[in-house]
Chains A and B, each alone.
Chain A
């Protein structure tokens, strides 16, 4: 009698996971893209935490204490003089000077925004030391550190003041002078907006797709063609990943000469890397496919000697087969024993046991 469970299980096996080739390719591309993403670095997380902390800090509204002729803000900004607080929020405050001279030391923070209204002018501040005054109808802004931006009547565009500069206006005329020079009333016409400088922009080269990604996507011919276009000498000096990928692409295209050249280049350049051991294994495979048993034995032995544990069982298993072809039975037995010691139930276990017996 047929086992009913076995019979029904066979029926269920007819529910398949096949999808149209296009869907499978799209699914594969999604997978390949996902594994191409670089791992998230710890410093990125630290940066994100710092940014979150800064954001949390910035989102707290500023508070301030008033003393005679002195304002102290919770972010460390200090204002001396007859200033009136128009508004304050998390990023800074708007102050107003109606008469007298204000001296400010604004604490610089990312995203901070301060402004001082002096008569009809507005001085926008990031982090700086400056004074702003309105005395007898004359407005002065003197900048000691940092940079401010002044806007108001007579200025077609905001005027950038640098450290050590003074802005002076009587509302009829505007002057900008250096603080270290005597205060000479030197009329300065309102600064016209600087004409935009147009520089020719070189077209960006198209983003380069790594050979590794191209090989992963099956574009073997494109990789080999690109290497030949570039010149093999130059191509073989690329990053090791790229050279290894070139070897793989050539191997898939049965261009054994190029594949060998690429893998040997990888071994020459980074003899202790796992790429080198993998290259030895693939060089052995190529030799084996060409029935070059001695060559295959050499490369599998090299792979074993390279000492990368993940690859040794395969190198030993394949070497047993190759040594049998070479008629080196004593050596094959020794290698078979080493293989069985490492991987007693592996894919070459039966071959190895047969060799020993």
Chain B
């Protein structure tokens, strides 16, 4: 199950230790946020090796730029924002590589990641939902994941993505609409959505 890292005194303490370059701070920073960043990468559709690259790159940036974080409760949003940007850059590179024929058209690993989720009756549904998500543009997928999957507040998502609050709101609504429109194109998800609409 996803463990959300709470903002609070401990996170504030961690931030001050990171800024002060306390010896144990780097280890604590990594242990606290690396699983979250890795999860974000994989939910954005990166395969395991790319997600690991995002972890390393993001944590290095956070370590170097922690002093730029304005409030002690902004550490989490800052980390996820850096990670989202790294992931987007990686996705862009991959797209170019595919366009130039330097990489196979389908990124390997995505299926196995989804398959890695414990088999339950909803695994099949998860694969379809994930396929809808991965079919969205990189930008909308990042917004969707930050706002709805990672459950950042609008302010945190705006901070993480680097957009203004108004822009983030517009993009989040757009991401939501695109997600639902695409979900309705999947027969199984269409059935479920129709039923929910009827019941509603």
Residues B73 and A35 in contact, CB atoms below 8 Å apart: no
Classify the interface of chain A: helix, strand, loop or mixed: helix
Closest B-chain residue to A252, C-beta based?
B24
Residue among A6, A28, A346 making CB contact with B27, cutoff 8 Å: A28
Chain A residues contacting B39 (CB-CB under 8 Å) are: 15-18
Question: Closest residue to B18 on the A side, CB-wise?
Answer: A310
**Which of A24, A213, A215, A241 has a CB less than 8 Å from the CB of B34?**
A24
What CA separation (Å) do A197 and B171 show in the bound complex? 77
Q: Are A346 and B71 in contact (CB under 8 A)?
A: yes
User: How far is it, in angstroms, between the C-alpha of A15 and the C-alpha of B148 when the chains are bound?
Assistant: 14
User: At the interface with chain B, which of A52-60, A85-93, A273-281?
Assistant: A273-281
Q: Which of B8, B35, B67 contacts A310 (CB 8 A)?
A: B67
- Does A181 reach chain B (CB closer than 8 Å)? no
The closest CB in chain B to the CB of A277 belongs to B20
Interface residues of B in 155-200 (CB under 8 A from A): 176, 179-180, 183, 192-193, 196-197, 199-200
Q: Is the CB of B183 within 8 A of A8?
A: yes
> In the complex, which of the residues A16, A18, A215, A274 has the most CB atoms of chain B within 10 Å of its own CB atom?
A16
Interface residues of A in 216-236 (CB under 8 A from B): 216-218
Chain B residue contacts of A28, Cβ below 8 A: 27, 30-31, 34
Size bracket of the B interface:
35 or more
Residue from the list B43, B60, B116, B179 in contact with A34, Cβ < 8 A: B60
Q: What's the least CB distance linking B31 to chain A, in Å?
A: 7
Stretch at the interface among A66-74, A104-112, A160-168, A311-319: A311-319
Q: How far is the CB of B127 from chain A (nearest CB, A)?
A: 10
B77 close to chain A: CB less than 8 A: no
Q: What's the minimum C-beta distance from B41 to chain A, rounded to whole angstroms?
A: 7
* Complex Cα–Cα for A97 and B197 (A): 102
A215 and B24 within 8 A (CB):
yes
Is A12 engaged at the interface, CB distance under 8 Å to the other chain? yes
Q: Using Cβ atoms and an 8 Å threshold, which residues of chain A touch B126?
A: 11-12, 14-15
Given A9-B148, A11-B125, A314-B72, decide whether A217 and B27 contact each other with a Cβ distance below 8 A. Answer: yes
The answer to whether the Cβ of A179 comes within 8 Å of any Cβ in the partner chain is no
* Chain A 23-51 interface residues, beta-carbon cutoff 8 Å to B: 24, 27-28, 30-32, 34-35
A245 close to chain B: CB less than 8 A? yes
Whether B43 and A278, one on each chain, are in contact in the complex, defined by CB atoms closer than 8 angstroms, is: no
Q: Say whether, besides A9-B149, A310-B67, A347 and B193 are in contact (CB < 8 Å).
A: no
Instruction: Tell me if B12 counts as interface (CB < 8 A to partner A).
Output: yes
**In the complex the two chains form, is B24's CB within 8 Å of A27's CB?**
no
Number of interface residues of A (CB under 8 A): 52
Binding site for B on A (CB under 8 A): 1-2, 4-6, 8-9, 11-19, 24, 27-28, 30-32, 34-35, 211-213, 215-218, 241, 244-245, 248, 252, 274-275, 277-278, 281, 308, 310-311, 313-314, 317, 343, 345-348
**B interface residues (Cβ-Cβ under 8 A, vs A):** 1-2, 7-9, 11-13, 16-17, 19-20, 22-24, 26-27, 30-31, 34-43, 48, 51-52, 55-56, 59-60, 63, 67, 71-73, 113-114, 116-117, 122, 125-126, 129-130, 132-133, 144-145, 148-149, 151, 176, 179-180, 183, 192-193, 196-197, 199-200
- Could you list 7 further interchain pairs (A-B, Cβ under 8 angstroms) beyond the known A18-B35, A346-B72? A13-B43, A14-B2, A17-B38, A213-B23, A216-B27, A217-B27, A314-B13
Q: List 14 A-B contacts (CB under 8 A).
A: A2-B196, A4-B196, A15-B113, A17-B35, A27-B55, A27-B56, A31-B34, A31-B56, A31-B60, A34-B60, A213-B23, A248-B22, A274-B20, A310-B16
